[in-house]
Amino acid sequence: MNSERIALITGANKGIGLQVSRELALLGHTVLIGARSKARGTEVETKFTEEGLRAVFVPIDVTDHATIKAAASLISERFGRLDVLINNAGIVLDAGTPPSQVSMGTLRKTFETNVFGAFAVLQTMLPLLLKSEAGRVVNMSSGLGSLTQNSDPNYEFANVKLLAYNSSKTTLNAFTVQFAYELKDTSIKVNSAEPGFTATDLNDHRGTRTVEQAASIVVRLATLPESGPTGGFFDENGQVPW
């Protein structure tokens, strides 16, 4: 692998994305801090730079195609390739809402970010990832996106039936499989990560895991050796059922 790896993390300004960015930077990556807020993105860039880490703020709102295209141009001009893409930006809009009460607007909005946004970023960044000698894509999924777990009444989170959020992560997992197959003869690996129930703003910090624990599987998938898997769904203990 190149000694200096270039990694783009969407939603890198807080939560799990911020921790993943820090850990990849500590491993020597140049981290591109994808954030939709200039103030929040610049703040992370400045902090990391002061700590001696290589970080560059890249404006990116995954629901705004113009910003994704502009980000790809910036990365192309400045670095000429992308080695790691962490499709991390995500939202939950239907917490506490039973499936029968979810509005079409909530479903659409959730999919705009978690599904169409992730797709648009991956598709737009693909030419740059193909220029890497070992491209790694990590789609930030969730155990809640596992149909096997969701349909198991004994699953720890069986009562968390967030129709919009859960199905958005199921769809993201489907994208992992489709892209991994298309790219199987390239040096790019595409995998889904399940970070576990983690204390972040996404769940008003009710999660029981730390961002450090959550980041471990993401960083592992982002730094897989050539012999590593592609087209899989993993948490820190191994494979998660689809």
Ligand X SMILES: NC(=O)c1ccc[n+]([C@@H]2O[C@H](COP(=O)([O-])OP(=O)(O)OC[C@H]3O[C@@H](n4cnc5c(N)ncnc54)[C@H](OP(=O)(O)O)[C@@H]3O)[C@@H](O)[C@H]2O)c1
Positions that interact with ligand X (CB under 6 A)? 10-11, 13-17, 36-37, 40, 60-63, 88-91, 113, 117, 140, 142, 195, 197-198, 200-203, 207
Which is closer to ligand X, CB of 42 or CB of 63? 63
The CB-of-203 to ligand X minimum distance in angstroms stands at 5
210, 198 contact by CB (below 8 A): yes
Which is closer to ligand X, CB of 134 or CB of 196? 196
Q: What's the token pair of residue 216?
A: 């471990």
Strand-pairing partners, residue 235, are 238
The CB-of-160 to ligand X minimum distance in angstroms stands at 10
The CB-of-46 to ligand X minimum distance in angstroms stands at 16
- Catalytic residue check, 169: yes
- Catalytic residue check, 181: no
Distance (Å) of CA 16 to CA 41, 104, 181: 15, 28, 27
Residue of 69, 109, 165, 184 marked active site:
165
What's 101's DSSP letter? Answer: G
3-state secondary structure of 200: coil
Residue 238 parent element (H or E): strand 238-239
Which positions ≥6 away from 99 have C-beta within 8 Å? 161, 163
Which is closer to ligand X, CB of 40 or CB of 81? 40
Residues with catalytic roles: 165, 169
